[in-house]
């Protein structure tokens, strides 16, 4: 039994003795008898109270446990996992599940919603891109994170200038990388140009991913993709996180494409530098 229990017993005993001691002297025998009776009843009453109420710590733990179980996110993440007491732990559990089953589109979508709720926009976009590549979309989430390409179109207006496509790893390359290695996707006027015009940064754990490079991804404010006739898109992997460091030569280049044309660019990163293809996806 806890310290709280014994504190209750001692306190109640002192109060009882003080009460009985206040009886008149001519009632000494009755007072003594009442004292022993009271002292015998106090522990019994305290035990009953303890059993009924329980430990305060247990109550707090039960409250936290119940709150976690009733959380909407925890109800979806829980599965075979036990409820956890923090959002970070919940996210770690969800990412662990995705490490074991990276094709779980629903979990990627849930991860994206969790990141969006925490205002971690870049991570929300990366997770949503992964869910979308697996065929899972959510229009309200897409609107929240600014994924214009995912929204249903109610007009015939063309998409804004951009470079859209998919990046994936070859089976050979997958053996050479770690999940936390950095993936850079960027566009230049030519492969020899030093400074990218637009760029995005993700991690290997996000592959395969859908990308959409627009003016919002410009390295220099005021850059407009519409000002360029053709651009080359590159995807590469870096272990150090530095853009000029390529791990084991793992990169892929597209052919020159126009940012004004509605092309879909497919990039497959392998251990040998390769040029990938782009295909037109313009609607009739």
Q: Is residue 142 part of a domain?
A: yes
pLDDT at 122 over 90: no
CATH number at residue 261: 2.60.40
For 258, left (φ over 0), alpha (ψ -120 to 50), or beta?
beta
Q: For 126-151, how does the pLDDT look when each residue is reduced to its tens digit (9 = 90+)?
A: 888 888 878 788 877 777 776 644 44
For 45, left (φ over 0), alpha (ψ -120 to 50), or beta?
alpha
CATH number at residue 143: 1.25.40.10
Q: What is the pLDDT of residue 74?
A: 42
The residue among 115, 149, 183 that closes a domain is 149
Q: Are residues 118 and 34 in the same domain?
A: no
Residue 29's domain spans which residues? 3-54
pLDDT at 208 over 60: yes
For 17, left (φ over 0), alpha (ψ -120 to 50), or beta?
alpha
Q: Say which residue, 88 or 194, is predicted with more confidence.
A: 194
Q: What is the pLDDT of residue 209?
A: 92
The residue among 54, 69, 94 that closes a domain is 54
Q: For 92-118, how does the pLDDT look when each residue is reduced to its tens digit (9 = 90+)?
A: 888 888 888 888 888 888 888 888 878
Q: Is residue 154 part of a domain?
A: no
Its pTM surpasses 0.85: no
Domain count, the chain: 3
Q: Are residues 117 and 214 in the same domain?
A: no
Q: Are residues 77 and 179 in the same domain?
A: no
Q: Are residues 252 and 178 in the same domain?
A: yes
Q: Is residue 44 part of a domain?
A: yes
Pairing of strands 251-254, 274-280: parallel
Average pLDDT, the chain: 73
Q: Are residues 236 and 138 in the same domain?
A: no
Q: Is residue 138 part of a domain?
A: yes
Three-state SS for 43-91 is HHHHHHHHHHHCCHHHHHHHHHHHHHHHCHHHHHHCCCCCCCCCHHHHH
Q: For 6-62, how does the pLDDT look when each residue is reduced to its tens digit (9 = 90+)?
A: 666 566 666 556 555 555 554 554 555 555 555 555 555 555 555 444 444 443 443
% the chain with pLDDT above 70: 60
How many angstroms separate the CA atoms of 3 and 24, rounded? 35
Please check whether residue 133 is in contact with residue 102, taking contact to mean a CB–CB distance below 8 angstroms.
no
Q: Say which residue, 246 or 36, is predicted with more confidence.
A: 246
Please check whether residue 131 is in contact with residue 116, taking contact to mean a CB–CB distance below 8 angstroms.
no
How many angstroms separate the CA atoms of 131 and 210, rounded? 9
Q: Is residue 79 part of a domain?
A: yes
Q: Are residues 47 and 121 in the same domain?
A: no
How many angstroms separate the CA atoms of 205 and 200, rounded? 15
Q: What is the pLDDT of residue 256?
A: 94
The torsion of the CA quartet 231, 226, 218, 213, rounded to 10 degrees, works out to -60
How many angstroms separate the CA atoms of 177 and 251, rounded? 12
Q: Are residues 139 and 166 in the same domain?
A: no
Please provide residue 141's backbone torsions phi and psi, each rounded to the nearest 5 degrees. Answer: -70, -40
Q: Does an H or E element contain 233, and which?
A: strand 232-238
Q: Is residue 120 part of a domain?
A: yes
Q: Are residues 163 and 216 in the same domain?
A: yes
């Amino acid at each position: 039994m806890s310290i709280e229990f014994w504190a209750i017993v001692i306190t109640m005993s002192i109060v009882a003795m003080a009460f009985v001691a206040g009886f008149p002297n001519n009632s000494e025998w009755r007072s003594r008898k009442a004292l022993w009776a009271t002292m015998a009843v106090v522990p019994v009453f305290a035990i009953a109270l303890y059993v009924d109420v329980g430990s305060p710590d247990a109550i707090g733990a039960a409250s936290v446990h119940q709150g976690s179980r009733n959380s909407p996110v925890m109800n979806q993440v829980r599965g075979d996992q036990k409820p956890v007491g923090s959002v970070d732990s919940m996210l770690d559990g969800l990412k662990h599940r995705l490490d074991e089953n990276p094709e779980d589109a629903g979990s990627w979508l849930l991860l994206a919603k969790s990141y969006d709720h925490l205002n971690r926009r870049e991570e929300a976009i990366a997770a949503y891109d992964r869910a979308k590549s697996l065929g899972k979309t959510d229009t309200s989430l897409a609107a929240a994170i600014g994924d214009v390409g995912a929204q249903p179109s109610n007009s015939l207006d063309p998409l804004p200038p951009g470079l859209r496509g998919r990046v994936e790893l070859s089976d050979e390359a997958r053996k050479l990388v770690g999940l936390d290695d950095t993936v850079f996707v960027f566009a230049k006027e030519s492969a020899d140009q030093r400074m990218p015009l637009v760029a995005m940064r993700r991690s290997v754990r996000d592959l395969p991913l859908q990308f959409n490079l627009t003016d919002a991804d410009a390295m220099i404010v005021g850059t407009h993709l519409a000002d360029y006739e053709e651009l080359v898109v590159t995807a590469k992997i870096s272990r150090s996180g530095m853009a000029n460091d390529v791990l084991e030569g793992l990169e892929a280049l597209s052919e020159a494409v126009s940012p004004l044309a509605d092309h879909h660019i497919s990039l497959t990163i392998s251990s040998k530098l390769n040029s990938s293809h782009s295909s037109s996806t313009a609607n009739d």
